[in-house]
């Protein structure tokens, strides 16, 4: 498991989330859903990059 820190797109609060690192072969197009501890809504995160679905590429 790995921890990722991100800003919740709903509340803008900084959130740390642990995600499974089992998907070592995940691509940049594979997303995993989780319930956000800040807003209690479902967000989709890429387990390889830690980016949220729809987040701007930087």
pLDDT at 50: 78
17: β partners: 4
Mean pLDDT for back-to-back runs of 10 residues, the chain (58 residues) = 85 86 69 91 85 77
pLDDT at 40: 95
pLDDT at 47: 75
Q: 48 in helix, strand or coil?
A: coil
pTM, two decimals, is 0.71
Q: How far apart are CA 34 and CA 3, in angstroms?
A: 13
pLDDT at 13: 95
Q: How far apart are CA 22 and CA 40, in angstroms?
A: 24
pLDDT at 32: 85
């Amino acid at each position: 498991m790995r921890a990722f820190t991100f800003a919740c797109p709903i509340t803008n609060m900084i959130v740390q989330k642990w995600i499974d690192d089992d998907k070592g072969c995940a691509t940049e197009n594979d997303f995993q859903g989780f319930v956000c501890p800040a807003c209690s809504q479902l967000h989709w995160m890429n387990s390889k990059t830690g980016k949220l679905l729809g987040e701007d590429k930087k």
